[in-house]
Amino acid sequence: MAKESVKIKTKHRIIFLLVISCLALIALIFKTAWIQIVDSDWLQKKAYESQTRDRTISSKRGTIYSSDNTILAKSYSVETVKVIPAQVTNQAEMATKLSEILELDYQEVYDKLGEKVSEVTIKDNVDKEKTDLIRQWILDTKSKGIKIDESVKRFYPNNNLASHVIGFYGTDKGLYGIEKSYDDVLTGTPGRIISETDGRGNNIPFSSESYYAAQDGRDLVLSIDSSIQYFAEKYLEKAVVDNKCNKGGVAIVMKPTTGDVLAMAVKPDFDLNTPFGPYNDEQEEIWDTITSEEKRNIRESMWRNNAISDTYEPGSTFKVITASAAIDSGKFTTDSKMVCTGSITIAGSTMKCWRYYRPHGTQTFTEALMNSCNPAFISVGLAIGKETLRKYIDAFGFTEKTGIDLPGEASGVFHAIQAMRDTEVATTAFGQRFNITPIELVTAISAVANDGKLMKPRIVKEIRDAEGNTISEIKPEVVRQVISKEAAETVKTMMERVVDKGTGGNAYIKGYRIGGKTGTGEQGIGASTWYVASFVGVAPIEKPEVVVLVALFDPKGDSHGGGAIAAPVVKNILADTLSYLQINPYIDPNDPGKTTISVPNVRGMDLEEAIKTLKNVGLSYSTQGKGNKVADQIPKANIEVIANSKIILYTEEGVEKLKVTVPSVVGQSPNNAAEILKNVGLNINADGLGVADSQEPAAGTQVDKGSIVNVKFRIKEVD
């Protein structure tokens, strides 16, 4: 029985072991099937990776050019030094050489060479001069394991210029500005080199190698002109500093006939090559002590393009839009009469004129724009009605984005028409209690300058391939006809009077017909109120080539008036731009101070020849003496005088000079001052606009007849 029991137990053990073996075999078969069938793709991938080396050939990102062919952003080749540790046989020697050439710590390099990885990066962004030294060392020592890959780095040659327009590039994509909005155009396709290797990463003899060439990105040509951009940035930056503008400033220059943005300046700005800060000396001192969130807030504030992303209450610059609606609708003419009593009460709210202490009284519509009279424009807004006013607001594009091809554009915010009571109509008519962007305003004013046609702002003009061939052209696009050509001409004439005789005199440029409008937009309410000082200028008014808007945010200097601090900035930008574009001055001999002429030297000439010479340049004359040759002249040669000035010609030696007493012209307009001086035989050199503030020589002084009286004119600061 005992033996039988042992046999049974042995049999059970054998059966148990057999079952276990069978189960193990079944599990092994199942696992093998799973690996061969279900995990086959993964296994193939791992086998491929272990037997091939896949090297990336970086593509070059497209170059960004300005319209004058200046490079604004480009990519250039740099190289990355990598090592395959399994192939390294001279670890100490290689670590010594690489650390020496690449200026790295020896121990760090040595440790990397010993890592148990397939590949390790020693250093990237290495100049070719250094990688060539490494290549020569490899040849000299026949060392293995080092490979040098080419990569591409983005560079901005002009640092801060147009930083908010161009934007910048990150590790693998455009992060901001044009770099972001045209990322798919600028980005190329990387190439590859695929070769067969053994387990240690060595190339297998007689194996094949596949090469796929990189495709470079396409180039962009912007509408930005680098010279005009420089003018805008130079004068805007000075104004922001001089007027202590806490929130910076914006300047936009647009070509009205095409919608081309010739310049878009935002201050403060940043260096595109180091966009992540710090951005000034003060921030540099605290940068390492502030939190990541604080750094992010500073960056986002610095990168924000206020010209398209921020809205503000424009103030009186918007009166150009109200005037356009009033003229085009046929409800007003330039001579329509309106009365300013210093204030006007609408629905229980009293709204003052800036000159409430000395009201404008009865004035024409043109004079109301010249004077920037709020009560007059309130009456205009109420007369044309909210439906008409809102129709033109929509038509000028203020309630939608302009469509400029830059990221982050905002659109204007207005009262819903059903919510516009008389009070809202009144404030809207003179530019308050709604918000628009600077790009919306300059685009709308450009429509007035462009015979009433609204253009879509253009920032990119062309897309080119790597060989410079034009692939596509972004053509100017007319959005709609907003007002008639006749209405546009009328409003431009009114804007010219603003500069010639009204609140915009600080934008006057001698020799050019300039139109414009001042604005001082009140932002916020009560104790939190701050101002935007702005001015929009159009030049030359007879055939507009450029429209310039300057807005200064929260100025804390001596003034916050647009006519006082923004108009001079527009004047400077316009003066340099008109000269750069070679736009000739407008000749108007009947307008004192508009055109000056350099007095020619006629001394020693025959009298007949001298008279002909003077007439040819637009000057008149009178003679003293009975000779036939000019012995002397007053004013002297090369002195600047206005057209039609009278030159006194003395035809005999020793003839006593005629003397006259200088009259007072203080308080007179340029026309009146010129006439008063002309009546006593004197010439004028007029500087500025408005009323005469001072003169040299002083009234009562005895001078030679024909002499120049220098008169300075000044406009009282408003708006």
Residues catalogued as catalytic: 316
Contact 439, 409 (CB under 8 A): yes
Q: What are phi and psi of 203, to 5 degrees?
A: -65, 135
| Cα–Cα distance for residue pair 539/461, rounded to 1 Å | 23
* 469: Cβ contacts below 8 Å, ≥ 6 apart: none
For residue 76, which of 121, 128, 134 has the smallest C-alpha distance?
Answer: 128
User: Under a CB-based contact definition with an 8 Å cutoff, are residues 283 and 298 in contact?
Assistant: yes
Q: Is residue 674 within 8 Å of residue 650, measured between CB atoms?
A: no
The continuous run of DSSP H or E covering 392 comes out as helix 374-395
Mark 624-661 as b/e (b = at least 16 C-beta within 10 Å): bbebebbbbbbbeeebebbbbbbbbbbbeeeeeeeebe
Contact in structure between 188 and 215 (CB atoms under 8 Å): yes
Strand partners for 73:
64
Do residues 544 and 256 touch, judged by C-beta distance below 8 A?
yes
Give, in order, the Cα–Cα distances in Å from 688 to each of 184, 348, 703, 711.
51, 41, 24, 9
* Selection from 520, 513, 481 nearest residue 494 by Cα: 513
- DSSP helix/strand/coil, 361: strand
Distance CA 74, CA 153 (A): 8
Cβ-in-10-Å burial (0-12, 13-18, 19+) of 194 comes to: middle
The answer to whether 454 touches 397, Cβ cutoff 8 Å, is yes
Q: In this structure, are residues 279 and 304 in contact, taking their beta carbons and an 8 Å threshold?
A: no
* CA 529 – CA 554 distance, rounded (Å): 9
Amino acid at 223: S
Q: Please give the biggest Cα pair distance in the chain.
A: 170
Rounded distance, CA 343 to CA 489, Å? 30
The residue type of 556 is: K
- Of 118, 41, 134, 8, nearest in space to 81 by CA: 134
List of residues 6+ apart from 365 with CB closer than 8 A: 323, 326, 332, 333, 334, 335, 336, 338, 376, 380, 494
Tally Cβ neighbours within 10 Å of residue 367: 22
Secondary structure of residue 283 in the 3-state scheme: helix
Q: 588: Cβ–Cβ under 8 A, 6 or more apart, which residues?
A: 513, 594, 595, 643
590 CB neighbour count, 10 Å cutoff:
9
